[in-house]
């Protein structure tokens, strides 16, 4: 399936290349996040319909996913000095939506980070220590990012269903 130029397909079930399999599952989840965030009005995209999570909007989740990729893949695994996308003194900074955080801008920033992250991680193998934290392996960072992205795709499922009734993978 393709939406906004992003291909979404399950990784091959007979996979033998661990690194490729990790990247393919991450790509599948990334595309799923975009599908969940596409087609909403600007007001829906910033709505926070869950009373117990007053900052959780579709755009907030995508901004958070972008910041997580920057931290774990681009900086930690890849060793890049690209700036953080959150304020270390404010644990909720990336969840706040500003006037410049339009659906187009937030989704484009997320997609741009995929390329930045992939470039930063070029040449690494699963067993390699990450360039930014030699106490972690690339395998660990990718597994962590896959679980983090999957968890937030679940949040996007719930948000989307609350916002317009849209369900499905």
Q: Is residue 147 part of a domain?
A: yes
For 115, residues 6+ apart whose C-beta sits below 8 A from its C-beta are: none
For 90, residues 6+ apart whose C-beta sits below 8 A from its C-beta are: none
**pLDDT at 112 (0 to 100):** 97
Q: For residue 89, what are the domain limits?
A: 22-164
Please give the average per-residue pLDDT across 158-166, as a whole number: 92
Q: Is residue 12 part of a domain?
A: no
Contact of 74 with 109, CB cutoff 8 Å: no
Q: How many domains does the chain have?
A: 1
Q: What pLDDT digit, counting tens, does each position of 53-77 carry?
A: 999 999 999 999 999 999 999 999 9
The pTM of the full predicted model, rounded to 2 decimals, is 0.93
Q: Is residue 16 part of a domain?
A: no
Q: Is residue 15 part of a domain?
A: no
Q: CATH number, domain at 27? A: 1.20.120.450
């Amino acid at each position: 399936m393709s939406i906004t130029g992003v291909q979404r397909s399950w990784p091959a079930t007979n996979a033998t290349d661990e690194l490729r399999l990790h990247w393919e599952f991450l790509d599948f989840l990334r595309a799923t996040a975009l599908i969940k965030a596409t087609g909403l009005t600007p007001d829906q995209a910033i709505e926070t319909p869950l009373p117990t999570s007053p900052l959780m909007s579709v755009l907030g989740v995508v901004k958070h996913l972008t910041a997580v990729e920057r931290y774990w893949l681009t900086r930690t695994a890849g060793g890049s000095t690209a700036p953080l996308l959150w304020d270390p003194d404010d644990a909720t900074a990336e969840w706040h939506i500003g006037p410049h955080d339009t659906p187009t801008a937030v989704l484009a920033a997320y997609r741009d980070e995929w390329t930045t992250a992939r470039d930063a991680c070029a040449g690494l193998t699963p067993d390699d220590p990450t360039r930014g934290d030699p106490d972690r392996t690339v395998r660990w960072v990718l597994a962590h990012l896959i679980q983090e992205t999957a968890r937030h795709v679940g949040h996007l499922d719930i948000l989307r269903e609350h916002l317009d009734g849209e369900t499905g993978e």
